[in-house]
Amino acid sequence: MCGRYTQIKPWREIHALYRLTDQDTKRNTAARYNIAPTQDVPFIYLDREGKQTVSDGRWWLVPHWAKELQSKYPMFNARSEDAEKKPAFREAYKAKRCLIPADGWYEWTKAEDGGKDPWFIHLEGGAPFSFAGLWAYNTNVEVTSCTILTAAAVAPIDQVHNRMPIVLAPEHYDAWLDPETPVPDAKALLSENLGSNFTFYRVGRAVNSSRTENDPGLVSAV
């Protein structure tokens, strides 16, 4: 699962992952240390001309057919094992696949005192990467939104959680984004999950509140 993530690196480092237009490379975004579901986040997709571009959307997918903004089901993650079959994700899986830039995420374990201890998961050196995602535009409520695909956790992440977001290998970005890539082929790309490249350490419980977002101390080890 992925319930919070970070986007700390400057945009100049993040956009280097992609082939964005000149205009898209000039974004000026502040560091975000605790991004939570329903907040707006940037995502990368192919426009009608087949060019990689960036847009902002609500991190909680609202299917194109939904009549209201909020679902009673959590829609910030989608299980990669069967997302292509689910009514909420099926159409997005066919033609609206995206990449969601990040440089870390949090998972939690239960502590002896009954509380939850957060762990910060990241690449050595803090390099940015991309979650595999889906996006949608809903005309009923006029909202653009996205979700992160997840899979069974691999070592060493399985020490803190049994699920993890899919971090897609860069050499598969183009095929994943391309709506011409058939769904079975797109799904096969998700096996190229880079989860085993990550490490983690425990951080303070201030992360547990989504109201605390812009504090660099959130990613400090405890």
Q: Which domains does the chain have, with CATH numbers?
A: 5-219 (3.90.1680.10)
The residue behind tokens 């997302």 is 83
Average of per-residue pLDDT across 124-131: 95
In this predicted structure, the answer to whether residue 106 has a pLDDT above a threshold of 80 is: yes
State the pLDDT confidence band at 29, using cuts at 50, 70 and 90: confident
Between 24 and 162, residue with greater pLDDT: 162
Asked if 151 contacts 80 with a C-beta cutoff of 8 angstroms, the reply is yes
What is the rounded CA–CA span in Å between residue 117 and residue 205? 6
Average of per-residue pLDDT across 27-55: 94
Q: Which of 14-28, 117-131, 134-148 has the lowest mean pLDDT?
A: 14-28
> Quick one: pLDDT at residue 24?
85
pLDDT above 90: percentage of residues in the chain: 85
State the pLDDT confidence band at 221, using cuts at 50, 70 and 90: very high
> Quick one: pLDDT at residue 27?
86
> Quick one: pLDDT at residue 147?
98
State the pLDDT confidence band at 20, using cuts at 50, 70 and 90: very high
> Quick one: pLDDT at residue 72?
78
22 Cβ contact list (under 8 Å, min separation 6): none
Number of other residues whose CB lies within 10 A of the CB of residue 59? 24
In this predicted structure, the answer to whether residue 187 has a pLDDT above a threshold of 80 is: yes
What is the rounded CA–CA span in Å between residue 82 and residue 26? 37
As a whole number, the mean pLDDT across the chain is 94
Give the β-pairing of 143-152 and 52-59: parallel
Whole-number CA gyration radius for the chain: 17
Asked if 69 contacts 168 with a C-beta cutoff of 8 angstroms, the reply is no
In this predicted structure, the answer to whether residue 70 has a pLDDT above a threshold of 80 is: no
What is the rounded CA–CA span in Å between residue 103 and residue 162? 20
> Quick one: pLDDT at residue 69?
85
State the pLDDT confidence band at 73, using cuts at 50, 70 and 90: confident
3-state SS, residue 144: strand
Greatest Cα pair distance in the chain: 55
State the pLDDT confidence band at 214, using cuts at 50, 70 and 90: confident
| Residue 167 DSSP class | B
